[in-house]
Structure 1
Amino acid sequence: MKRNLFIVSSILCIAIFLIGCGSTDGTNTEEAKDGNKVETAEDKNTQDFPVTIEHDGEEITINEKPENILPLSLDVTEILLELVDPSRVVAISSSVEDEHLSTHTEKAEEIPNRVSTAAYIDPEEVLAYETDLLLLTKMHGQEEDASSILSEIDLPIITFETMGTLAQFMENIEVIGQAVGETEKAAELIEQMENDITAIQGKIPEDQDAPSVLVLSEVGAGTGPFMMGPGNISYDLIQLAGATPAVDQIGLEGSTPASIEQVMKMDPDYIFLLDFFGNGEEDFTELSENPGWGSLQAIENDRVKLLDVKYLMNPNVEVIKGLEIMVDWIYGLE
């Protein structure tokens, strides 16, 4: 009898030991009874490398998950910092520190290195950071040249065209998510943006005529105000808000320096003034002090709003908030 009890106890001890060895702490892959692997939390967040990305008619192969990523344009930096920890970003441009331009000023403080923008890129500077993925947007002739120079370096490089619509912005979130091994985060971000857009557009009155909206902004130091036209994301936001871009009335094909004569010709229902440098309405003095400015219906009806550039002109996730601000304001929903 004692012998039988001993045998049973031994079997139970061995079983418990085996169960303990087979248990998982959430970091190993379990196997189901049918022999198929069960996906754990870590497996779900892990993307296999190498990956080959098809983008803009090219194939870019990334052999290992990038840990030293260098974004050379503000818009790609905005996307990147939505998807990865700042520790994986080796350097950024100083524009990310500006709260008027960027949505990630706090994360910028965690990244110690600063780099020239894509317009003035130095290949030696790129190599010095031991970069394993380079991201940049082609917006100027210098950036086109930089892209050609960097293509001679043995380094994964993804270049983007100007992100002139929300659809293009979200497409590039997907591309960058795949490149940095964060496809799930990218998909979740895109889904959230799409849901937010749908909810905002659901507030637009169906029985109201589409108002005309003009966006004025500087585009750099000393440029003076520009009338933002096709090719800038603000143009797309106006349309998503169910409004009409005022620049369509003068056949504007792209953003161009503002003149009081053209603004008077458009005579928009609403005007957004975008604050690029934190100077408020001061940067629009030349326009506002012209006698013709006071004759605009937007001025007479007090329909001028000042916003930071990041909400309407720079591609980032906060343009969704900019879209909501626009819809609430122009349809009197505030």
Structure 2
Amino acid sequence: MQLTSLRRVPALAAATSVAMLGLSACATGSSDETGSAPAANSSADAEAFPVTIESTYGEATIEEEPERIVTLGVDGDNVAALGVAPIAVQKMTWGGNEAGSTDWFDAALEEIDGAEAPELLDTTDAVPTDEIIGLEPDVVIATNSGLTQDDFDKLTAAGIPVVAHPGVQWGTTWEQSMEMTGEALGRSAAAEEIIAETKADLEATAEENPEIVGASFIWAFFDPTDISNVGVYTTVDNRPAILEELGMVSPPIVEQGGTEAFFFNVSAERAAELDADVLISYGTTPEESETLLQTPVLQSIPPIANGNYVITLEPNDTLGLSFPSVLGIPYALDHFVPEVAAAIGGEPQVY
């Protein structure tokens, strides 16, 4: 069953027919270990290369159209949306499917003729730079990832251009990621088309869920073993940022978290200040979540006391917001945003 939003189909179709050149990109460039070129259903824009892309760690100069592409974060989604099959992507150890991928990435890969499943890179402990170097990629795209300066330096010293994040780790917007990926692959025109369609998806979702427009929200997290603090995501984080794109608003207490970090802690004594139309958080089991919701600390949080909350047990449903891409966002819009709208309307959600 294909789980990507039906609204995404036109964008994928557009990405796989750029310049109506079809499979011509498959016939050129470097080859993998089996001797066949990595798959692509699209071609680069005319005169797209060479290109130099700036990031917080330094420049990446890409001399010619890359074919052996390695991605970190969720840039594999952006590459696949542009009709290109990466040779290696980051393993999704949180929120992914049993294979360590996502259903929307797998569906996009199926749209690319001859594409094979990429190697999965486990970044649980660190970015596996030696493994990446061994793959001999033409480029590493890591626009929204945990890549460090040391990782960047090691990969570039090995002669590999690295497109890193333009600001803080994990703080790149989905639009920036798509734009940078499009630039790295020489497919900026297609990237802009897909960005426009994703924005249309956001606008359509706001129209379909009018309860969310203008509603205030707090996206928080709790440690069941220690609720002396409540973690609150700031608007540096993509989760709140995308909800704001949908027309929701962050209350003043979220703004106190500043713009340097993606979260901050609010002590239990200040829990009553966490006032908003809805509170969003994560849970592990229904039983643990219900027990936690009845604690005095959480009951002092107004939206919890009022029954305006969403506790999601399905990380897959919010993955498209926490690690946003043009493929993951539509899934979250379809599966998660209606739950938020229901909670604003007075129907608490633990699912």
Same-fold call, TM > 0.5? yes
The CA distance in 2 between the partners of 1:288 and 1:146, in whole Å, is 41
Q: TM-score normalised to the size of structure 2?
A: 0.65
Matched, 1:214 2:218: yes
In the other structure, the counterpart of 1:191 is 196
Cα distance 1:96–1:211, how it changes in 2: closer, same or farther (>3 A)? Answer: closer
Cα distance 1:122–1:331, how it changes in 2: closer, same or farther (>3 A)? Answer: closer
3-state SS, counterpart of residue 117 of structure 2: coil
In the other structure, the counterpart of 1:53 is 52
Cα distance 1:91–1:322, how it changes in 2: closer, same or farther (>3 A)? Answer: closer
Find 1:315's aligned residue among 306, 316, 324: 324
The CA distance in 1 between the partners of 2:186 and 2:288, in whole Å, is 42
Gaps of 5+ in 1: 1-38
Cα distance 1:291–1:298, how it changes in 2: closer, same or farther (>3 A)? Answer: same
The CA distance in 2 between the partners of 1:163 and 1:91, in whole Å, is 16
2:244·2:250 contact (CA, 8 Å) conserved in 1? Answer: yes
The CA distance in 2 between the partners of 1:284 and 1:178, in whole Å, is 44
Q: Show CA shifts across 1:54-75 (max 9, x none).
A: 33486533233222111122x3
Gaps of 5+ in 2: 1-17, 23-41, 111-115
**1:8-157 correspondence to structure 2 within 5 Å:** 41-42=20-21, 45-48=43-46, 50-56=49-55, 59-73=59-73, 75-86=74-85, 88-95=86-93, 98-99=96-97, 102=102, 104=104, 106=106, 110-117=116-123, 120-137=126-143, 143-157=148-162
Find 1:267's aligned residue among 269, 275, 279: 275
Find 1:241's aligned residue among 233, 246, 249: 246
The CA distance in 2 between the partners of 1:209 and 1:122, in whole Å, is 42
The CA distance in 2 between the partners of 1:203 and 1:262, in whole Å, is 35
The CA distance in 2 between the partners of 1:300 and 1:147, in whole Å, is 47
3-state SS, counterpart of residue 61 of structure 2: strand
The CA distance in 1 between the partners of 2:152 and 2:256, in whole Å, is 32
Q: What is the number of equivalent residue pairs in this alignment?
A: 285
Looking at secondary structure, tell me which structure has more helix per residue: 1
Cα distance 1:186–1:91, how it changes in 2: closer, same or farther (>3 A)? Answer: same
Q: TM-score normalised to the size of structure 1?
A: 0.67
The CA distance in 2 between the partners of 1:181 and 1:76, in whole Å, is 15
1:78·1:103 contact (CA, 8 Å) conserved in 2? Answer: no
In the other structure, the counterpart of 1:31 is none
The CA distance in 1 between the partners of 2:128 and 2:244, in whole Å, is 39
Question: Which residue identity does 2:20 align to in structure 1?
Answer: A
In the other structure, the counterpart of 1:231 is 236
2:220·2:279 contact (CA, 8 Å) conserved in 1? Answer: yes
The CA distance in 1 between the partners of 2:67 and 2:43, in whole Å, is 16
The alignment yields a C-alpha RMSD, in angstroms, of 4.2
1:68·1:133 contact (CA, 8 Å) conserved in 2? Answer: yes
3-state SS, counterpart of residue 245 of structure 1: coil
CA apart distance, 1:175: 1.8
The CA distance in 1 between the partners of 2:194 and 2:242, in whole Å, is 18
CA apart distance, 1:312: 3.2
Cα distance 1:280–1:42, how it changes in 2: closer, same or farther (>3 A)? Answer: same
Q: Show CA shifts across 1:43-92 (max 9, x none).
A: 8944346331333486533233222111122x323322322343x32343
The CA distance in 1 between the partners of 2:92 and 2:332, in whole Å, is 23
The CA distance in 1 between the partners of 2:322 and 2:288, in whole Å, is 16
Q: Show CA shifts across 1:148-169 (max 9, x none).
A: 222212112111134547xx32
Matched, 1:290 2:288: no
The CA distance in 1 between the partners of 2:143 and 2:240, in whole Å, is 19
3-state SS, counterpart of residue 192 of structure 2: helix
In the other structure, the counterpart of 1:9 is none
Find 1:179's aligned residue among 174, 181, 184: 184
The CA distance in 2 between the partners of 1:183 and 1:89, in whole Å, is 21
Cα distance 1:146–1:54, how it changes in 2: closer, same or farther (>3 A)? Answer: closer
Cα distance 1:54–1:245, how it changes in 2: closer, same or farther (>3 A)? Answer: same
Question: Which residue identity does 2:202 align to in structure 1?
Answer: I
3-state SS, counterpart of residue 95 of structure 1: coil
2:272·2:302 contact (CA, 8 Å) conserved in 1? Answer: no
2:144·2:177 contact (CA, 8 Å) conserved in 1? Answer: no
CA apart distance, 1:296: 3.6
